[in-house]
Structure 1
């Protein structure tokens, strides 16, 4: 299996446990790895034979912006389910970073891997 990756994708999400934290959308960073078969795209040089990075990015931004999440884990699950349900990928590994979530700590977040079907 091959990998398509996107790093440091900036998303805006209404996110947080306390209500005050969900008052305004907050920035989160996403690193995404998609497990796909890329041989056909390499041979054809045709975007129809691969996963369109721009379409994935647009869809993930919409999913993050359209919902309200208490936990970063819930947002991660929703993003993974969207990618697996709407794009031809075998698995998705994603890492979400909500910097500033823990005072006095650097990047803080979750990382998950989910498989299609």
Structure 2
């Protein structure tokens, strides 16, 4: 993984999950929270798949909309690393540069895996 120029030391220290935001949402939704988590994870996987297609098709408009939706869902749940990376992709799409963003999209996919792992650990507590 060290060969990936997007994986620098600063990225390693970024918060994966904002505990306060996560717990606030859990308290708010109570018994519906587990369903929200499942929908979020499923939808996020689909969005990443769609981002890969948008990147291959150089579709900046669709890429922007998908990144925006992923950023918003991630903000609601407190998955800060995903939110930050999605925001970066949104900016690249605004600059009409999605075709160059395959590595960033893979960073988003990896961040989702880390978030899912962290969320599952938190749900067991």
**Could you say whether these structures have the same fold, taking a TM-score greater than 0.5 normalized by the shorter chain as the test?**
no
Larger Rg: 1
Bigger proportion of residues as helix: 2
Higher share of residues assigned strand: 1
Instruction: Compute the TM-score of the two structures, normalised by the length of structure 1.
Output: 0.32
Q: TM-score, normalised by structure 2?
A: 0.31
